[in-house]
Structure 1
């Protein structure tokens, strides 16, 4: 098979989408398949090949003012036409609902190519990045002012957010995403809970579940025991506002009062870093909260086992790749009851689930776990068992099967006229 990927995020920028694309394409090429990946241009760290059978095509892009990590790919219909005519894909796989994903879908319709879309990210839950509050960078202004006026507190920042929290914005984003994914022949969900959520959102195309998977030969843990008064808590991921790391830090403040030697390590980078550092300082726990910055995924499997607990307050995970990595390494986990997290963090089995944004509940669950060594050991053992169902090779089998079935079912797919086609004809 020849598969053409479209994604508005990819390496060298590291996130769950990029890791998923890398893993599936590399492992499927070992089975004789070929891939071309259409992705944004980032800079000097860009590359154009991943082995002989994976070609990366880069597209010119700008960035979203409220979140520079998000690339806005500029229209390149002629370039996309050339890619399709030279590569002759059997299948197009859309990985993001951004502009590059839209371009890819329009091209698929023009050429009558079978199309799959993976719902990696619940974009409607990231509507904050198109708010006036962050588009005009009022959050950065707040923290600059706060350096000089200590009387300004975080409650005031919340007022700006609440003032700009119009529900209509989320509905618009949801409609845009639905319009794209409802043009796919099949939609892939990384988890069963997200599949149900997508149905509720209004996705009316066939939905199949394929986990992003985990290399359990690398992320391999042993049952852990707890015998310390200085527990080490870990959070890993993109440090952006929708991940709610501020909630994690507030919960850690309460845990730290019970365990003064406890530490919280936050691995990752993103636009929320500076505000979180200010928060830790404001709460007088900055010496116990460690910000490491970016750590390559190739090193993470050696880092997780050094910690005692994985803690997250994210409310928008479609699967939670870092949670999967952590539990595969034997860490109990504590998270919130939102979207896909309860599939990986199972209440009273390998961790605890708190209501979203409930700081006290997250703290209470953490303290409870750290005061019961027997439960801790049982949770660690269960984490490894839960992760074992996400073995990467099985997930690759599932993806390959989906590809084959869609290609076979959509033979002779009708070509559609579109704005993209008219633009190509004009050029």
Structure 2
């Protein structure tokens, strides 16, 4: 099979989407399939080939002022047309509903290529990045002012956020995403809970569940034990952006720290929310116990997780949660929130606890119960490894390969559609 990937995010930028694309393309390429990955141009660290069977084509892009890590790919319909004509894909696989995803679905319809779309990210939950206070960087202005003048506080910033929190933005983003995915032949959801959410969102195309998977040969944990130590080590890993609600994790840790003054929280990852989180830790007087380690390559993360005792997350937008899967595969009990796919990996009372969304007190209570009960800790650790075992990467690759084959076979002779976008394809040669 010849598969053409489109994604508005990819390596060298590391996130869950990039890791998934890398894993599936590399393992399927070993089975003889060929891939061409269309992705943004970042500059330093870009590459145009992963293996003999995987090429990468880069597209010119700008960035979103409120979140420089998000690339906005500039229109290149002529370039996409040439790629399709040269590569002759059997299948187009769209990984993001951004502009590159939109260009891809238009091209797929014009050339009659079977199309799959994976719903990696709940884009409607990231509507804060098009809010006026972040587009104009008023959050950064707040923290600069607060650094020198103690007149402003976090509550005042929250008022700005609430004032700008119009549901219309979320509805617009949701409609844009639905318009793209409802034009795919099949939609892939990384989890069963997200499949239910997509139906509620209005996705009408057939939805099949394929986990992003985990390399269990590398993330191979052993059951852990926690005694009566007074210095538990908590961990949070991921993109440190606003929608991940790491501020809730820090608030929860403050409550934990009140009972265990020697406890520590390590936050691994990069993102635009770090300055505000550092100020928050200072404000709560726990900055000496909270460490921001920055980015750590995924290639060594399997060695990092076992060094900690409990994984914490307050994200309310996970379609699967690769870092959660990595953590539990390494034997860590976890505490998360009742949002989207997290309860599928963090099962309340089995390998951790689930609190209500944005409930710092509930997260803290769950974490404290785990570290205060050695028998419960050992049970949760063992069960974490068991739950992760259902996401073996090879099994997921088998499932993806089967979906590809079925869609290609079912959509043979797919009718080509002529739209107004054809004018752009023909004009921009």
Q: TM-score, normalised by structure 2?
A: 0.99
Give 2:166's aligned residue: 166
Shift of 1:420: 2.4
Give 2:302's aligned residue: 301
Shift of 1:153: 1.1
CA distance in 1 between counterparts of 2:311 and 2:73 reads 35
Q: How does 1:305-344 map to 2 (within 5 A)?
A: 305-344=306-345
Give 1:282's aligned residue: 283
CA distance in 1 between counterparts of 2:141 and 2:190 reads 37
Give 1:177's aligned residue: 177
Q: Deviations over 1:7-28 (max 9, x none)?
A: 0000000000000000000000
Shift of 1:421: 1.3
**What SS does the corresponding residue of 2:148 show, helix, strand or coil?**
coil
Q: How does 1:88-103 map to 2 (within 5 A)?
A: 88-103=88-103
* Residue 23 in structure 1 maps to residue 23 in structure 2: yes
- Coordinate RMSD, CA, aligned: 0.5
**What SS does the corresponding residue of 1:286 show, helix, strand or coil?**
coil
* Residue 141 in structure 1 maps to residue 137 in structure 2: no
**What SS does the corresponding residue of 1:225 show, helix, strand or coil?**
coil
Q: Deviations over 1:363-403 (max 9, x none)?
A: 11111111100000000000000000000000000000000
CA distance in 2 between counterparts of 1:372 and 1:425 reads 67
Q: Deviations over 1:106-162 (max 9, x none)?
A: 110010000000000000000000111110110000000000112311111100100
Q: Deviations over 1:341-379 (max 9, x none)?
A: 000000000000000001111111111111100000000
Shift of 1:419: 2.8
Partners of 2:78 and 2:426 within 8 A in 1: no
Shift of 1:276: 0.3
Partners of 2:255 and 2:364 within 8 A in 1: yes
CA distance in 2 between counterparts of 1:65 and 1:44 reads 20
Structure 1 runs of 4+ with >2 Å offset: none
CA distance in 2 between counterparts of 1:426 and 1:11 reads 31
CA distance in 2 between counterparts of 1:419 and 1:44 reads 36
Give 2:125's aligned residue: 125
Give 1:421's aligned residue: 422
Shift of 1:195: 0.1
**What SS does the corresponding residue of 1:50 show, helix, strand or coil?**
strand
**What SS does the corresponding residue of 1:300 show, helix, strand or coil?**
helix
**What SS does the corresponding residue of 1:56 show, helix, strand or coil?**
strand
CA distance in 1 between counterparts of 2:420 and 2:309 reads 54
CA distance in 2 between counterparts of 1:391 and 1:302 reads 18
Q: Deviations over 1:16-70 (max 9, x none)?
A: 0000000000000010000000000001210000010000000000000000000
CA distance in 1 between counterparts of 2:420 and 2:402 reads 32
**What SS does the corresponding residue of 2:49 show, helix, strand or coil?**
coil
Shift of 1:426: 2.3
Give 1:32's aligned residue: 32
CA distance in 2 between counterparts of 1:268 and 1:168 reads 31
CA distance in 2 between counterparts of 1:144 and 1:426 reads 48
**What SS does the corresponding residue of 1:287 show, helix, strand or coil?**
coil
CA distance in 1 between counterparts of 2:190 and 2:220 reads 21
Give 1:49's aligned residue: 49
Q: How does 1:254-269 map to 2 (within 5 A)?
A: 254-269=255-270
Q: Count matched residues.
A: 427
CA distance in 1 between counterparts of 2:79 and 2:250 reads 46
Q: How does 1:364-403 map to 2 (within 5 A)?
A: 364-403=365-404
CA distance in 2 between counterparts of 1:18 and 1:250 reads 30
CA distance in 1 between counterparts of 2:122 and 2:131 reads 17
